[in-house]
Amino acid sequence: MSVTDVALSSTGLPVGTWKLDPTHSSASFAVKHMGVSTFRGRFEQFDATLTIDEDSAQLAGTVEASSLVVKDENLQAHLGSPEFFDLERYPQITFQSDSIRREGDELIIDGPLTIKDHTHPVESRGTIAGPAVTLGDVTKLGITLETVVDRTEYGLNWNAPLPRGGFAVANDVKLTVELELVLS
Amino acid sequence: MEILGVAGSLRRGSYNRMLLRAAGASLPPGVRFTEYDGLKAIPAFDEDDEASLPLSVSRWRAAIAGAGGILFATPEYNSSVPGHLKNAIDWASRPFSATVLRNKPVAVIGASTGMFGAVWSQAETRKALAAAGARVIDRELAVPFAHEAFDEAGSLRDGDLTLELDNILVELLDAIKQRVVA
């Protein structure tokens, strides 16, 4: 990794305004399906900005929920319906950090996550890599974050009982973002 | 703004049609209420017929598409939804990814001559509509002993039921207005 001259804040985070490189970033979810496998979906459109100065750090993110992509158009329609994301009323998912802590390469970010008309605090954990000077003399930072939320707390309540117990879709959903951020 | 009324009972003296008309009469000025009369003509759902859609189905889908919201009034047959009503919902739900029911505000009410007021039928109608992607008002209106429930003018005799019907209509209208504003 190339050495950069980016200063570190008092919290050990690299000072600057870091904007998303959407091509090299992803936002996805994973949920247990039929009690036996993991079903994954992703969002194609989202944005994030990490702002770090000497004394504070903030991460703000917006996901266009209507950019949800799964492999079946009927399932996609169901996920967009009022039983799940209710895209007509709630086209965006938002996150705003309250605190960001760095412990070595580990990153812990707390803040409210809003899906539909429900807002709950979440703690997300992940890694931070960089900053690094990349091609074209562009300075980049890599962040990966994961959190697990109970989808029913956000009004995504649909389910179907299985014949011998259990349900088709778990309530716990893992949300993952992998962000490649550019120093602006 | 238009609300489409759909009676799940076909017979001429249907109590659910009476209930539907009582609902239509209590809507505020400016809301047009249209009673759908073509349910009986809709054939049994057959995927093979989708390539050349029966006229009765085209008409049904167009009526849904043109309405701001739908009010269903259903009886209960063998503790469940009348077959022709479920069949009509099935036709309307196709193709699933582009159904005219997607996000359509709908409410379900019901009447029966027994003591339960078609509660199971209402619940299952709501379930089918939600599965089809409609925006279902999460309320029921159970009118029991329907043969005694209406006065000569066709209004519900019971004040509590009248109030509950009004509450359901307010929620349905709010859901329609939210779509119009958006």
Q: Which residues contact A44 (CB under 8 A, 6 or more apart)?
A: A64, A67, A68, A69
Q: Which residue numbers of B have CB closer than 8 Å to A's CBs?
A: 96-99, 102-103, 130-131, 133-136, 178-179, 182
Token couple for A107: 């990153």
The residue with tokens 């739908």 is B70
Instruction: Check CB contact of A73 with chain B, cutoff 8 Å.
Output: yes
Instruction: Check CB contact of A117 with chain B, cutoff 8 Å.
Output: no
Min Cα–Cα distance to chain A from B175, Å: 10
Torsion sign across C-alpha atoms A149, A153, A155, A161: positive
Nearest to A79 by CA among A151, A175, A179: A151
Torsion sign across C-alpha atoms B147, B148, B149, B154: positive
pLDDT at position A8: 84
The residue with tokens 């200063």 is A7
Min Cα–Cα distance to chain B from A16, Å: 37
Instruction: Tell me which chain A residue has its CA closest to the CA of residue B175.
Output: A89
Domains and CATH numbers, chain A: 16-183 (2.40.128.110)
Q: How many domains, in total, are found in chain B?
A: 1
- Other Cβ atoms within 10 Å of A145 Cβ, number: 23
Question: In the predicted model, is pLDDT for residue A73 greater than 70?
Answer: yes
Q: Do A81 and B97 touch (CB under 8 A)?
A: no
Q: Do A81 and B178 touch (CB under 8 A)?
A: no
Question: In the predicted model, is pLDDT for residue A1 greater than 70?
Answer: no
Which pLDDT tens digit goes with each residue over A127-176? 999 899 999 899 999 999 999 999 999 999 999 999 999 999 999 999 99
Q: Which structural domain, as residue segments, surrounds residue B177? A: 2-181
Strand partners, A82: none
Give CA–CA dist B178/B1, Å, rounded.
Answer: 12
Per the prediction, chain A carries an average pLDDT of 93
Pick the residue of A73, A74, A79, A81 with the most B CBs within 10 A to test the interface with B by mutation: A81
Indicate the range of A3-7, A76-80, A114-118, B3-7 predicted with least confidence. A3-7
Average pLDDT, integer, range A51-63: 94
For A24-92, the three-class secondary structure string (H helix, E strand, C coil) is: HCEEEEEEEECCCEEEEEEECCEEEEEEECCCCEEEEEEEEHHHEECCCHHHHHHHHCCCCCCCCCCCE
Give CA–CA dist B66/B81, Å, rounded.
Answer: 24
Determine if the peptide bond prior to B82 is cis (ω within 30°). no
Instruction: Check CB contact of A69 with chain B, cutoff 8 Å.
Output: no
Give Dmax over CA atoms of chain A in angstroms: 61
Q: Do B102 and A81 touch (CB under 8 A)?
A: yes
pLDDT at position A3: 59
Q: Do B96 and A76 touch (CB under 8 A)?
A: no
Give CA–CA dist A64/A46, Å, rounded.
Answer: 6
pTM: predicted TM-score of the whole model, two decimal places: 0.82
Which amino acid, A6?
V
CB distance B23 to B71 below 8 Å: yes
CB distance B140 to B123 below 8 Å: yes
Instruction: Check CB contact of A89 with chain B, cutoff 8 Å.
Output: yes
Q: Do A89 and B136 touch (CB under 8 A)?
A: no
Where is pLDDT greater, at B109 or A10? B109
Give CA–CA dist A128/A144, Å, rounded.
Answer: 7
Q: Do A82 and B131 touch (CB under 8 A)?
A: no
Question: How would residue B125 be classed by pLDDT, with cut points 50, 70 and 90?
Answer: very high
Q: Which residues contact A119 (CB under 8 A, 6 or more apart)?
A: A112, A113
B155: CATH:
3.40.50.360
Which pLDDT tens digit goes with each residue over A16-32? 999 999 999 999 999 99
Residue B102: list chain A partners with CB under 8 A: 77, 81
Element (H, E) at B130: helix B119-131
